[in-house]
Chain A
């Protein structure tokens, strides 16, 4: 069974500071990994995805994440936070199995607050 752990349910950063959101996963097979963002009262938008190509993945809005197999991690970073980055972020894993309809297993989410 897969699982995803996001460390810190809430993160507060100052505008212009580094954003670092931690994600660790467990999977019995090489996974695909995703970061989604949810702005207030909106659905989930894909930020970036790892699908076994380059381990450093660049996404939208200046975010990037690095897949580290040895650490089973897929942490999300952005060098300089902007007020518009205030949202909830979800890490998700897929075992690439057609069973369960390509189910994504999600972490509990991290809510980011950006202080001026």
Chain B
């Protein structure tokens, strides 16, 4: 059974950066795409970008280009999402999710999800 376990909640100041981790277990980490999806309070789902760990190349939504960096460490089966220049509008729950059924850079559909990490941006 695949499990994605994310790091804990964060409170950040505007202008700073946050790095969220997503540790996978129970599956073959390297050959599946891992995407990051965020959800602002009371809002819908927004795909930010993804990576296939075995290739190491990330693909980002244009909205986040230049502000988000997605990486993966095959040795620890962990993916990371770093978002910089934080502003209040970045307050959201950030999910990692395993993507299947797609052909990179398409993200695929998401069959397993992490539990979510709440990032609060406040002065």
| A associates with B | no
Could you list which residues of chain A lie within 8 angstroms of chain B, going by C-beta atoms? none
Could you list which residues of chain B lie within 8 angstroms of chain A, going by C-beta atoms? none
